[in-house]
Amino acid sequence: MSLVVRNLSKKYGDKTVVDNLNFEMARPGVFALLGTNGAGKTTSIRMMLNMLSRDSGEVLWNGKPLDTSVCNVGYLAEERGLYPKYTLMDQLIYFAALRGIPKAEAKKRIRYWAERLEVEEYLYPDGGASSRKEALSGNDENKGAADSDRKRSAEKPESKKRARKQAPKKADQLSKGNQQKIQFMTALLPDPDLLILDEPLSGLDPVNTDLFKSIIREEIAKGKYMIMSSHQMATVEEFCTDIIILNRSKTVLQGHLNDIKKSYGRINLSLKTETDVSELIEKAGLTLVAQKECEYQLRVSGEEQANAFLKLLIDHSVSVITFDLREPSLHEIFVEKVGDAHED
């Protein structure tokens, strides 16, 4: 499988909001679509999915124009897209039907993802007894699952059982984070080959962030193609292999993240010492980026300068606790590339 995005452009009036976007995914993994606020990420994604008209360009999935009614694509939009007044279960079944998933199969998948995303209490206010009966009735294999479900339910503390009975069932009764989970479910339900995640972790608490990350890791392990747009550089760095950075509609950096990092070299030095070494840092001509007591973040020109500095520290009998030389982080690369540009 492969994804090709070629010459994608969009204008609103006189303003170009996406200027000739080009990238390719020739193998599974995570491609990061990054950029400043208003750079054109969401517009690009929506054009790729034909949710928005293009002024020019094409998007090919396996050599053919990407058609979401034929290709198996999952999309987690940045904005909330649930209908506030309908029950969550009805919406999930509806979204699944739009992707051609029959109701019985949809119910099984919903049950799986509800447990995985820990939102059962919102989808099964009665504890899920009726739905489980429907989804698991019939064969012996499922009887085992039903038995273990019953056992799990019996093991749940009373407080949790009570909470389930009072739980809301419509989107507008859910917190933002839980709505995000339901929307993630709609993206995952079709078991997509291509998964597009626009700010997947925004608004999630640390526990749910880890939950989402573990699911993203599982989807990567299954060999999915994934496009992730996010402002959380550390998270992107955990998952992505290739990146593109947009600024004011234009591509300012593109390539394999490891190659990009290598091209910068190991220029960041984290140093922790027992005593103040400010004078030695000055003597060695290093750039002090930040300091907290005897912990220093330094910028060096390369390994040669770092080694000379280490020798200087040793010659002055400085007790070194940490001396860590590394390539710049994605965050630093991003900031360097786009500076402090802001949306017009």
Ligand X SMILES: Nc1ncnc2c1ncn2[C@@H]1O[C@H](COP(=O)(O)OP(=O)(O)OP(=O)(O)O)[C@@H](O)[C@H]1O
Binding site for ligand X (CB under 6 A): 12, 17, 35, 37-43, 78, 343
**232 vs 291 by CB, closer to ligand X:** 232
Strands of 3-12's sheet in order across: 15-25, 3-12, 56-61, 64-65
36 or 268, CB closer to ligand X? 36
Measured distance CA(331)–CA(257) in Å, rounded: 12
18 vs 110, which CB is nearer to ligand X?
18
State in angstroms the smallest separation of the CB of 201 from ligand X: 14
CB of 119 to ligand X, least distance (A): 25
Kindly state the smallest distance separating residue 239's Cβ from ligand X, in Å.
Answer: 18
Q: Of 34 and 194, which has the nearer Cβ to ligand X?
A: 34
Helix (H, G, I), strand (E, B) or coil at 78: coil
Helix (H) or strand (E) holding 109: helix 103-116
Pairing of strands 295-299, 268-273: antiparallel
Closest distance of CB 229 from ligand X, Å: 7
Angle between helical axes of 103-116 and 88-98 (0-180°, round to 10):
120
In the bound state with ligand X, the residue whose beta carbon lies nearer, of 17 and 82, is 17
Alpha-carbon span 86 to 110, nearest angstrom: 16
Q: Smallest gap, in angstroms, from Cβ of residue 19 to ligand X?
A: 11
- Residues comprising the chain, all counted: 344
Spatial separation of the C-alpha atoms in residues 225 and 194, rounded to whole Å: 5
Beta partners for 35?
246
As to burial, measured by CB atoms within 10 angstroms (0-12 exposed, 13-18 middle, 19+ buried), residue 278 is exposed
Residue placing its CB nearer to ligand X in the complex, 12 or 83: 12
Q: Which lies closer to ligand X via its Cβ, residue 53 or residue 139?
A: 53
Rounded to whole angstroms, how far apart are CA atoms 158 and 164? 10
Q: CA-CA distance, 135 to 131, in Å (whole number)?
A: 6
Nearest approach in angstroms of CB 199 to ligand X is 7
> How far apart are CB 78 and ligand X at their closest, in Å?
6
Residue 240's contacts (CB-CB under 8 Å, 6 or more residues apart) are 29, 30, 31, 32, 228, 257
